[in-house]
Structure 1
């Protein structure tokens, strides 16, 4: 039966004792091996192999004052747009020698602040947030710690933190203008809750003053979209097009319209915003406004790297959106 000590992780002192050198010498072998003789390196490496020693990142951070950790706070992981962004962000940060720790906030500024504090507590060297709605406590935390902080998914050149993202107002307006160009004058707008969603509020604000619009607020789920379709047919059956301010809603609306045997686009046109991968493979494929999440992840990673490594404050960066015309309009 294995003893309790056999499960204990070896440390620098164990390696130093086994190889007959000082702890400082083991540290030099790990961090600056060119300063140590070949015979000493071999002795230390033999002890490392025998003890199955793995250097501790926490110990290194104490010595260097660096953790090389970046924290990202996003509303949810249950959305492909955030998955694409985070995948590109993590990959690019890794290429820069930085690690990513992710926390979800459910769009709640108070939860965001609590989780930001936890990221600070584990040594995060920068924070990446979504949107431009913060709590005063979050701002105080950033000011107190002088934490490099970048806001994404939203472009605002005057925001207190550098923004790297889209003009959400222009994205929705682009979708609406396309529908109007196709002679749609009676248009339903499906959107998610706006109380804690600044990107959704911005998209909705881009639609004022054009065409006859009927707004339906619902949950950002397939079920929420189905409910909105039901309410649409109850209250405004003359509608000829649905503009969804999220591809999640566009997909949910597509499923419900199929269930009702509504022909798309012959009887109803449908357009979304996001360009989720599933929108291209749906039948019919969904016309949408592409939000280049991968580009946003790469540019955000580069900006954070320059900030934490070279103290270069990022400039706000506007990422273009694109109309992707498919079969649903």
Structure 2
């Protein structure tokens, strides 16, 4: 059988020859097109098209010394918060002509350090990480490579990396204040695993020292809707039922809300439910979830701008605090209103006997 010889793929020199320009000019068209005259750029682009040439990232890196990608290390992709952060981050990096490569860490500092090394090995020009708890190996890698790195989802101006995020403790205090202002004093707090998550620990610490001092009971569960459901069952089985449930994430609040509804407990008529995150779906739950809005999309954009500037100018960015806001919806109510509804319900029941 006659074999068709494989077609040789065009390379950078072929494009330069076809366009009648230098290899350096072709490289500038790829990496900094605004620096090339329009007529010259068009000749190069026409040559690329005629040769069916697709730029190779590896070849570009060899010729320019730049890979033009940033690595992001996040605990999981199974969370709408990180999806929103990454979406805004990738969109913003594109405006800086940078790409994003994502790795997940499972909230494990050792795994994060290993994944970070992998990203550096393939040429990451900067790293974006979550939180402020990292392994010594991670810091050693950053110091040895002199690599730009910023931390998100946390604000700590004294941290060794620039932090771009929100005050987790303040966000939790905002949520608790809303409930105590409504008269709630017996409150169940539902949160995800705290040992491996510094954001959760900060939110828990933000509940300390509140005035007036509420009676808080804590329930640690897996950070999932199923975890929230489990917390809801435990709360309903408690000897003394709280008048409100404060969930330190909207995911958990959704699970609690579903479980209370499954058990026939009306929200907020008998128990108020509060979240923290303001996920896109929280406004469409029934009832709509009261929560604290965390500016995660703005954080992704700000982190992208910061790392891009650092990569290009070698100037370390300043820490950036993004404000969180209370979002009052239908899942919380005053305790007086709840007691009045209970009394009215009891009166109707008694009259029917």
Is the structural similarity TM-score above 0.5? yes
Deviation at 1:230, TM superposition (A): 1.1
Counterpart selection for 1:301 from 292, 300, 304: 304
Q: Is the Cα–Cα contact under 8 Å of residues 166 and 294 in structure 2 kept in the other structure?
A: yes
Which residue matches 1:73? Answer: 73
Deviation at 1:208, TM superposition (A): 2.1
Q: Distance in 1 between matches of 2:291 and 2:120?
A: 38
1:266-318 CA-partner distances (Å, limit 9, x unpaired): 00100010000110011100000100011111111111122111122111111
Which residue matches 2:348? Answer: none
Taking a change above 3 Å as real, the CA distance of residues 46 and 170 of structure 1, as seen in their structure-2 partners, is: closer
Unaligned 5+ residue runs, structure 1?
A: none
Normalising by structure 2, we get a TM-score of 0.85
Deviation at 1:9, TM superposition (A): 3.7
Q: Distance in 1 between matches of 2:40 and 2:303?
A: 45
Q: Is the Cα–Cα contact under 8 Å of residues 57 and 67 in structure 1 kept in the other structure?
A: yes
Taking a change above 3 Å as real, the CA distance of residues 254 and 113 of structure 1, as seen in their structure-2 partners, is: same
Q: Distance in 1 between matches of 2:235 and 2:244?
A: 11
Deviation at 1:202, TM superposition (A): 0.5
Which residue matches 2:267? Answer: 264
Aligned pair count?
323
1:72-107 CA-partner distances (Å, limit 9, x unpaired): 101111111111111111111111111111111110
Q: Distance in 2 between matches of 1:291 and 1:45?
A: 44
Q: Secondary structure at the match of 1:274?
A: coil
Taking a change above 3 Å as real, the CA distance of residues 249 and 20 of structure 1, as seen in their structure-2 partners, is: closer
Q: Is the Cα–Cα contact under 8 Å of residues 117 and 141 in structure 2 kept in the other structure?
A: yes
Q: Distance in 2 between matches of 1:302 and 1:261?
A: 48
Q: Distance in 2 between matches of 1:316 and 1:288?
A: 26
Matches within 5 A, 1:171-186: 171-186=171-186
Matches within 5 A, 1:1-329: 3=4, 5-6=6-7, 9-15=9-15, 19=18, 25-29=22-26, 31=28, 48-209=48-209, 210-329=213-332
Q: Is the Cα–Cα contact under 8 Å of residues 75 and 105 in structure 1 kept in the other structure?
A: yes
1:233-261 CA-partner distances (Å, limit 9, x unpaired): 22244211000000000011111111111
Q: Secondary structure at the match of 2:276?
A: strand
Q: Is the Cα–Cα contact under 8 Å of residues 109 and 135 in structure 2 kept in the other structure?
A: yes
Taking a change above 3 Å as real, the CA distance of residues 53 and 197 of structure 1, as seen in their structure-2 partners, is: same
Deviation at 1:49, TM superposition (A): 3.5
Deviation at 1:64, TM superposition (A): 1.6
Taking a change above 3 Å as real, the CA distance of residues 320 and 39 of structure 1, as seen in their structure-2 partners, is: closer
Deviation at 1:29, TM superposition (A): 4.1
Bigger mean CA offset, 45-54 vs 102-111: 45-54
Deviation at 1:59, TM superposition (A): 1.3
Taking a change above 3 Å as real, the CA distance of residues 5 and 212 of structure 1, as seen in their structure-2 partners, is: same
Normalising by structure 1, we get a TM-score of 0.91
Q: Is the Cα–Cα contact under 8 Å of residues 280 and 286 in structure 1 kept in the other structure?
A: yes
